[in-house]
Chain A
Amino acid sequence: MSALIEGLFNGISIGSVLLIAALGLAIVFGLMGVINLAHGELMMLGAYTTFLVQSAFRPLGEPWFDLYIFLALPAAFLVAGLMGLILERGVIRFLYGRPLETLLATWGVSLILRQFVRSVNWILAIGIVVFCLLFFGGMAILSRRSNWEKIKNWAIAILLPVSLAIAVLVSSLIQEGGQLALTRPWFSARNVDVTSPSWLRGGVQVLGFQMPYARLFIIALTIICLIGVYWFLNRSTWGLRIRAVMQNRSMSACLGIPTAKVDALTFALGSGLAGIAGCAVSFLGSVGPNTGQSYIVDTFMVVVVGGVGNLAGTIVAGMGIGILNYLIGSGTLALIFMPLGEAFQPVVDFFLFFATSSMAKVMVFALIIAFLQIKPGGLFPQKGRTAEL
């Protein structure tokens, strides 16, 4: 019995990680029909932000260090949200109505972000700053001209390579200088470890097993995020606008809702949530450039099973997949059937075969496919004539 409760607790804690990671994805998918393959990398950015904040607090000593989390969470939210905003304004808004292309574009962003974290150093940072100053500065100056629309394409075609070339030149000149502090990568490809504050280490004993504080913290954080998102969507003005656009985009546009702003805001919100998720997972293990990749497919499955545009679906799906994953992967199910005697031996063998975390994924996927045979639209599908074109 206590094994089952322990299994459930662990399952819920895995589920809440999935849920917090999938929350942003689900909101963005519900509003714009866009699956963001860079969502995992936004999580990774959140995790690295946590690492940076933690490193900044380290010299301050004990009582202060324990509080870094309360700065790290908003910082992760802001960094990931800002990145999401840039992504939406820079790429995704050009691709609305072409979800498959968006998928590929966000994968490109995900590759760039991963490599960026690996190789970022002062030189690269300076290069990027120089490029942005030249390119966007140039654009800003040129856009004041009255014939801007006419020369726009030419301006981009000339400005882009010129500012790129200058940025590369500046970077390589600094590199020639050979300052070690400048050329050393900030993070490199190696994983970094986030030290949790002392009050998150250890755990509480319940019914003969350990509930780690870190896991409890993540569950609490997920609940807070859920309440926050629910409040935002259902009680705030912008939430109302988001829901309006979600239901009927063109009608909302006609009624004067700035749909472009709504899209940008939603995307930033979804990305910010990814940042918080990243902050949360940084307490569970070390953080590396590939951190996001390990969560991403599971979170997609949460969105698929949960259905579109419904928080409840996402919650149930996240919890369900998390619990199933843990129960199968840890062999808890096999343990349950074991005392039932010889007759259940094949069942036990069957569950033992899947009792590793990677084989559990195989089983869960099979279950998801089976589930989709019964409910192709997810747990709470949209009904009505508008549901399918």
Chain B
Amino acid sequence: MALGTTIGIHKRKQQQRRQIIEGAIVIAIALIFVVILPALIPAFRLRSLGRFLALAIVALGIDLIWGYTGLLSLGHGIFFALGGYAIAMHLNLQLPEGQLPEFFTLYGVDRLPWFWEPFNSFPFTILALVIIPGIVAGLLGYLVFRNRIKGVYFSILTQAALIVFYNFFNGQQELINGTNGLKTDTERIFGVLASSPQAQRTFYILTILSLVAVYYLCRWLTSGRFGRILIAIRDDETRVRFTGYNPTGFKVLVFAISGAIAGIAGALYTVQTGIITPSAMEVAFSIEMVIWVAVGGRGTLIGAILGTLIVRLAQTFLSERYPESWLFFQGALFLIVVTVLPNGIVGLFRDLIGEKGRSLLGFRRKSFTYPSLEEDPEVQEEEEELSPR
């Protein structure tokens, strides 16, 4: 017993050290992105990098539900677009008293629809772009999960929901400008033109801060007991039920959180793109989000971010050079990732150079060759004594 507790203390110390190292790495990378990159690359490239980082936030949300909980959502475009529309509505309302956003006059609308009113307030908008997608996701999740609909059924229901929202937004010209969507580039936020370099710079930094915050949120969610329940639900939901947990609640909550995360991402993406249209809810875009996570490596948060950046950069590169070939590549990417690389880049990395890398970085090599010996408490104790602290 005493042996057990000393090992426990060592473990905790090690864990703390690891957390500090990780924090330092995260801050360093964030600083590189905030300080150094803007000096190196042209403004329009930086703007698209900012967009990619915003997309990496959605990818984190998708990883949370797919990688950890095993729910494949093909409808995250809904939540993404809801966030985008929330911020765009606020920007479109930055007008002198009594005026309406321009497009309303085209359809002969002379009074602001009721649901636009609260978006006059900035704090409300910020809350709304998190909470509205969260609630919609939670509601959809509740209606589906409480009937124990799961797996492929869940996926195609989310896809159907996506089509439904797409149709709805496309059809409602008088309410939200239908297919044309809402422009943000020509609007002002706090008196500054949203497309000005100054505002864009702020959006870029905000995106990085949000990415870091969401990353830590996901870390927190997946590390403790809650995270282990998610994994348990992914691996054997029935068993979870028989141990006294109700998986429905956990799934609804995590799906709602994932939706809220997508909402944040959508808002950040919108202000850096300059427009939000219903095309953000196209089927292809939502499935693409999944492939970012798959390429990076599902079940690892860093994989979700890496995957998004890599796929998006590749897309930019390829579609600039060979516009026709991108879809072929994307299709092939889906096939390759699913068949050959099920654990994504991070998984490959781990398999190929993981062991060597660990020893290079000074961590103890892991080995499962003789688990009984390796995990013998006395052997562990000895190793702890010997390894430099």
Contacts and interface: CB of A to CB of B under 8 A. Distances in A.
The answer to A–B direct touch (Cβ < 8 A) is yes
B112 interface: no
A11 B159 CA distance: 24
Given A112-B327, A304-B157, A35 B339 contact: no
B153 A100 contact: no
Given A103-B152, A300-B160, A365-B164, A108 B147 contact: no
A103 B155 contact: yes
A104 B160 contact: no
Given A95-B339, A103-B152, A365-B161, A115 B334 contact: no
Q: Taking each of A105, A116, A119, which has the highest tally of chain B beta carbons within 10 Å of its own beta carbon?
A: A105
Interface string B298-336: 000000000000000000000000001001101111110
A180 B307 CA distance: 40
18 contacts: A29-B152, A95-B339, A100-B151, A100-B152, A100-B155, A103-B155, A105-B338, A107-B334, A108-B330, A108-B332, A112-B328, A115-B324, A297-B163, A297-B283, A301-B160, A362-B167, A365-B161, A365-B163
Interface stretch (B6-14, B33-41, B43-51, B287-295): B287-295
B155 A111 contact: no
Given A29-B152, A368-B160, 5 more contacts: A107-B287, A115-B328, A300-B160, A369-B143, A376-B148
A100 B151 CA distance: 7
Contacts of A101: 338, 342
Contacts, number: 118
Question: B-side binding surface: helix, strand, loop or mixed?
Answer: helix
Contacts of A115: 324, 327-328, 331
A99 interface: yes
A356 B173 CA distance: 13
A189 to B, nearest CB: 10
Interface in A67-87: none
Contacts of A372: 143-144, 147, 149, 157
The 6 closest A-B pairs by CB, nearest first: A108-B334, A376-B147, A112-B331, A115-B327, A111-B331, A358-B167
Interface of B: 66, 70, 72, 74, 143-144, 147-149, 151-153, 155-157, 159-161, 163-164, 167-168, 170-171, 238, 283-284, 287, 290-291, 294, 324, 327-328, 330-335, 337-339, 342
B207 to A, nearest CB: 27
A300 B171 contact: no
A108 B295 CA distance: 13
A356 B172 CA distance: 11
A95 B338 contact: yes
B19 to A, nearest CB: 32
A94 B168 CA distance: 38
B327 to A, nearest CB: 4
Q: Taking each of B156, B168, B170, B284, which has the highest tally of chain A beta carbons within 10 Å of its own beta carbon?
A: B156
Nearest to A103: B155
